[in-house]
Amino acid sequence: MILHELIDYPTLRVIWWVLLGVILIGFAAMDGFDLGTGILLPFVGRDDVERRIVINTVGPVWEGNQVWLILGGGAIFASWPQLYAVSFSGFYLAMFAILFALILRPVGFKYRSKLDDTRWRSAWDWALFIGGFLPSLIFGVAVGNTLAGVPFRIDDDLRIFYDGTFFGLLNPFALLCGLVSVAMLTMHGATWLALKTEGEVRARAVSYGKRAALATIALFALGGVALWLFVDGYVITSVINPAGPSNPLLKTVEREAQAWFANYGAYPWTLIAPALGFLGPLVVWALIGSKREIVTLAAGMVSAFGVIATVGVSMFPFILPSTEQPGASLTVWDASSSHQTLFIMLCISLLFLPIVLAYTAWVYSILRGKVGREEVEGGGHAY
């Protein structure tokens, strides 16, 4: 027996769909509080020392957290090549904007304190704010466009053509999803600051965290209503072959109102995903500011899990629908790499992912504790 046949092709496709979701959730949970901390920086820190305290809570860990973003890009490239082709070419300007904003973060960390000048440091503080806000917004906008569908087509030679524009991505529903992302990650950043800071900085973070939690609940609910009323889903109307070739043109697809809610009726247990999307912010709102700081941080991660899982569960088996050529929509069953490629990647992931998780846990255990004025003003390694 060939080794990769130990796991059949349909199962491997579902496993990699789940793993892609895990990586996206890992990025939102781990790098999300970095982005949220950047968003909160100009507001929770009122003087230079307070802002340095905020920066030093994430300064030692943000690079490691961004591994999840790299993993996500690599996983899409290797396991879902057609998804990579559409998203990384069609969303090119959006990706460039994200990269520009993310580049501002390390530059801001390194250069902010090089000059003892108020205007210089204030400018870099707002650059760090942009480095947190812009990616948070664009990631949410991307999710919104994924739900609404993207204008691409595939010809008979399986060449992919993207016919949209950057500003076409900024439609009302996508922007609403962007606001959900901003609110959720701002809340998550506040839970991190509540864990890592003390005094006035912590009190302000708690205040903003409560408001961001309520905003997350309200915007997530509003997004669900908008999805029901204004956004058509997609339904496969032909026979599905889970072990079929990776050719999206071998099926027929129709757009249908409320189709993205069908999985919840067919599989009621999937309602756990949106329930966690609401439960996480509710727990943050109730407990942030208390001594249960680890619980509130975990609740922020639960919120990220619930919101992202809601999108995945709603769309399954679709990965990226096409508004221009619905039959060319990419699904779990027809957009993956080969059986052998998915199996080899799974073996590699099972080997290295636990190492990444163990190393991350070790780093956070070493860096546990709060950041205060003494560490920032007296520490030679502080930002």
Predicted confidence at residue 4, as pLDDT, reads 61
Polymer length in residues for the chain:
383
Does residue 379 carry a pLDDT above 80? no
Q: To the nearest whole percent, how much of the chain has pLDDT over 90? A: 70
Residue range 121-130: mean pLDDT, rounded: 93
The arithmetic mean of pLDDT across residues 167-172, rounded, is 88
3-state secondary structure (DSSP) of residue 104: helix
**What 8-state DSSP symbol labels residue 238?**
S
**Which candidate, 271, 351, 350, places its Cα nearest to that of 306?**
271
Full-model pTM: 0.94
Query: Residue 6: what pLDDT?
Result: 78
DSSP annotation of 307 reads H
In 3D space, the residue among 85, 20, 230 whose CA is nearest the CA of residue 144 turns out to be: 230
Cβ-count burial of 47 within 10 angstroms (0-12 exposed, 13-18 middle, 19+ buried)?
A: exposed
pLDDT in tens, 143-168: 999 999 999 999 998 899 988 888 88
Tokens at residue 114, please? Answer: 């090089």
Delimit the domains of the chain by residue range: 25-378
Instruction: Provide mean pLDDT across the span 66-84.
Output: 89
Say which residue the tokens 């009726």 belong to: 265
d(CA 140, CA 374): 38
The token duo for 269 is 């247990």
Residue 74: CB atoms within 10 A of its CB come to 13
Confidence of residue 337 (pLDDT cuts 50, 70, 90): very high
> Per mean pLDDT, which range of 110-119, 297-306, 329-338 is the poorest?
110-119
139 pLDDT band, cuts 50/70/90, is very high
pLDDT one-digit tens code per residue, 2-40: 656 678 999 999 999 999 999 999 999 998 999 999 999
Q: Which pair of tokens denotes residue 87?
A: 């998203």
Are 22 and 305 contacting, i.e. CB atoms less than 8 angstroms apart?
no
Q: How far apart are CA 105 and CA 135, in angstroms?
A: 11
DSSP 36-88: HHHHHHHHH--SHHHHHHHHHHHTTTHHHHTHHHHHHHHHHHHH-HHHHHHHH
- Is the sign of the CA dihedral 74, 76, 80, 81 positive or negative? negative
Q: Do residues 198 and 371 make contact, with C-beta atoms less than 8 angstroms apart?
A: no
Q: How far is it, in rounded angstroms, from Cα 329 to Cα 148?
A: 12
